[in-house]
Structure 1
Amino acid sequence: MKKPHEVSSIVDQIPAGEWSSERAASFEAALEAINHAFGAYSALIAKAEAHGADEAQISQLKAGRESCIRDREALSPDDIAAVAEIRHRYTVLTRRLRSET
């Protein structure tokens, strides 16, 4: 049984008989894109807190970071279209967030 803080292995999430290197790499890249956005949000939150930003701005950034968590948990390697969409969306988001730091 996994502990609450443990992250599932990519291999554990792919049903038997449907494994392919390309599919695993796509899923891993999508997860990595989400993780990069999470990190960018964390950097912006730290910067906002250090510079005394208003609570509404900090709350908005934290909500964005929570969206990363929800999307990461909901992403399934079975949904090839969602994997591609998440990878694209989070890559674009990360670029935008990093431009704000």
Structure 2
Amino acid sequence: MDSGISITGRIEQFSWSTQEAVGYEAAIEAANHLIGAYTARIAQQQAQKQPDQSLISELQQARTSVVHSRDTLVAQDSDQVATQRAIFNVQLAELERRAE
């Protein structure tokens, strides 16, 4: 069923290099990996006999922040994309250390 609404029709046209495209995709993947890690930690904590609600709330807020950061990436801004990708990777490493 065609609703007449085109998602791709709303995307602004711009040119970008293969390097910029790959960098943007890598940043999105890093964010999604981090969001998944937060979701797993939240589920793990919720499955405990006595879940730590404070920790769950902290993890949920952190996950929401990552979603926001991912959703506000500007594909044409390669510096912002690279910086945010690095931040996502540091956050993931920190979350994994805390889980050990």
TM-score, normalised via structure 2 length = 0.81
- Partners of 1:23 and 1:41 lie apart in 2 by 27
Q: 3-state DSSP class of the match of 2:74?
A: coil
Could you list the runs of 5+ residues in structure 2 that have no partner in the other structure?
none
- Aligned twin of 1:47: 44
- Partners of 1:71 and 1:25 lie apart in 2 by 18
- Aligned twin of 1:67: 65
Segments of 4+ moved more than 3 angstroms:
12-15
Could you list the runs of 5+ residues in structure 1 that have no partner in the other structure?
3-7
Shift of residue 44 of structure 1? 0.5
Percentage of pairs with the same residue:
33
Q: CA RMSD in A?
A: 2.1
Which AA in structure 2 matches 1:64?
Answer: A
Q: 3-state DSSP class of the match of 1:67?
A: helix
TM-score, normalised via structure 1 length = 0.80
- Aligned twin of 2:35: 38
Shift of residue 98 of structure 1? 2.2
Which AA in structure 1 matches 2:47?
Answer: A
